[in-house]
Structure 1
Amino acid sequence: MRTALVLVRHELRLLASIGLWAARRRHRTGEGPAFGYSRGQGPMMLGFGFVIVIESIMMSILLRNHPAVQRAWFTVDVYTLVLIVGMHAASVVRPHVLDDRVLRVRRAAHVDLRIPLEKVARARRELRTTHERTEGELNLAIGSQTTVTLELTEPVAHFTFLGRRQDIRLVRFHADDADGLVKAIMLARSAPSPIPDPTG
C-alpha cells in the first residue's frame, strides 16, 4: 500500500511538472540562482518517446482484429508517453538551487537533497561516465554522466524513492554549467556571515 501511494504521488508530481513547464515556471527555486541539468537528457527522452510512438502504431496494426485489446494497449502507450514527457518536464522545472546557506541537488521529481554549505568540504568539476554503487555515495547521473563532485565534512541524510534512509558523504551529479555551479558554491562558502544588528 505504501509503495502504491509513493508511485501515485510521484506520477502526480510528473503531471504537475508538465503544467509548470507549459507555463514556463519553475518549482520552488526561491531567490537563489538555479542551475539546470536537463540539456544532456533531451535527445535520450526524445528517443524514448519516438520508440513508444512507433510501438503504438505497430501494435494498433497487429491488434486491429481485437479492438478491446487495441484500445487498452493504446491507452497504456499514451500514458507511458505522458510520463516520459513528465520526467523531462520535471528535470527542466526542478533545477539545482543555491542560496547563501544551502545547495539543493535535485533530479526530476524524485530527488531533492538539501546540503548545508557549511558541510561542503570540497566542490570540483569532474566528468564521470561510469558509477558504482558505494556505501555513503550518491550518484545522480543524467545521460549516464555526472559533472560535479561534492565531498562533505559529515554525512547528510538522503531518503530513497521508497523512503529508505542513506547517510551520504559524497555526491556526484550533473549540471549543464558545471564550472559556473562549482564557482558559485565556492563563492557562497567563502562569503562572510552577516553581522547581527546590535540594536535589533
Structure 2
Amino acid sequence: MRTALVLVRHELRLVVSLWLWAARRRHGLDEGTAFGYSRGQGTMMLGFGFVIVIESIMMSVLLRNHPAVQRAWFMLDMYTLLIIIGMHAASVVRPHVLDAGSLRVRRAAHVDLRIPLEKIAHVRRELRTTHERADGELNLAIGAQTTVTLELTEPVAHFTFLGRRRDIRLVRLHADDATDLVQAIKASKATNAIKPA
C-alpha cells in the first residue's frame, strides 16, 4: 500500500511539473538562484518519445483485428509517453537551487536533497561518466554524466524513492553550467564565513 501511495504521489508531481512547464514557471525557487541540469537529456527523452509513437502506430496496425487489445495498448503507450514528457518537464521546472544557507540538489520529481552550505567541505567541477554505487555516495547523473562533486563534512540524510534512509557524505550531480554553480557555492560559503555571529 505504501509503495502504491509513493508511486501515485510521484506521478502527481509529474503532472504538476507538466503544468508548471506549460506555464513557464519553476518549483521551489523562493529567494534562491536556479541552476538547470536538463539540457543533457533533452535529445534522449525526445528519442524515447519518438520510439513510443512509432511503437504505438505499429501495434495499432498489428492489432487492427483485435480492437479491445488495440485500444488498451494505445492507452498504455499514451500513458508511457505522458510519463516520459513529465519526467523531462520535472527536470526543467525543478532545478538545483542555491540560496543563502543551503544547496537544494534535485533530479526530476524523485530526488530533492537540501544540503546546508556549512556541511560542504569541498566543491569542484569534475566530469565523470562512470558511477559505481557505493555507501555514502549519491550520484545524480544526467545523460550518464556528472559535472560537480560535493564532499561533505558530515553525512546528510537522503531518503530514496521508496523512503529508505541513506546517509550521504559525497554527492555527484550534473549542472548545465557547472563552473557557475561551483563558483556560486564557493562565493556563498565565503559570504557565510565572514558574517558576524
Match of 2:164 in 1: 164
Partner SS, residue 79 of structure 1: helix
How many pairs were matched up? 196
Match of 1:103 in 2: 103
Match of 1:66 in 2: 66
Give the whole-Å Cα distance in 1 for the aligned partners of 2:188 and 2:170. 19
Match of 2:20 in 1: 20
- 1:59-105 per-residue CA deviation (whole Å, 9 max, x = no partner) reads 00000000000000000000100110000000000000001100000
Give the whole-Å Cα distance in 1 for the aligned partners of 2:81 and 2:182. 35
- 1:110-138 per-residue CA deviation (whole Å, 9 max, x = no partner) reads 00000000000000000000000000000
Partner SS, residue 6 of structure 1: helix
Give the whole-Å Cα distance in 2 for the aligned partners of 1:75 and 1:183. 47
**Deviant stretches of 4+, over 6 Å:** none
Give the whole-Å Cα distance in 2 for the aligned partners of 1:112 and 1:10. 12
Partner SS, residue 175 of structure 1: coil
Match of 2:131 in 1: 131
Q: CA offset at residue 146 of structure 1? A: 0.2
Higher mean alpha-carbon deviation, 183-192 vs 160-169, is at 183-192
Q: CA offset at residue 194 of structure 1? A: 4.3
Give the whole-Å Cα distance in 2 for the aligned partners of 1:142 and 1:29. 21
TM-score by length of 2: 0.98
Percent pairwise identity = 79
Give the whole-Å Cα distance in 2 for the aligned partners of 1:195 and 1:125. 30
Letter in 1 for 2:118: E
Give the whole-Å Cα distance in 1 for the aligned partners of 2:161 and 2:58. 34
Match of 1:8 in 2: 8
Unaligned runs of 5+ in 1: none
Match of 2:152 in 1: 152
Does residue 180 in structure 1 map to residue 180 in structure 2? Answer: yes
Letter in 2 for 1:162: L
Partner SS, residue 81 of structure 1: helix
Match of 1:54 in 2: 54
Q: CA offset at residue 28 of structure 1? A: 1.2
Q: Output the aligned Cα RMSD.
A: 0.9
Letter in 2 for 1:180: D
Letter in 1 for 2:142: I
Letter in 1 for 2:23: A
Unaligned runs of 5+ in 2: none
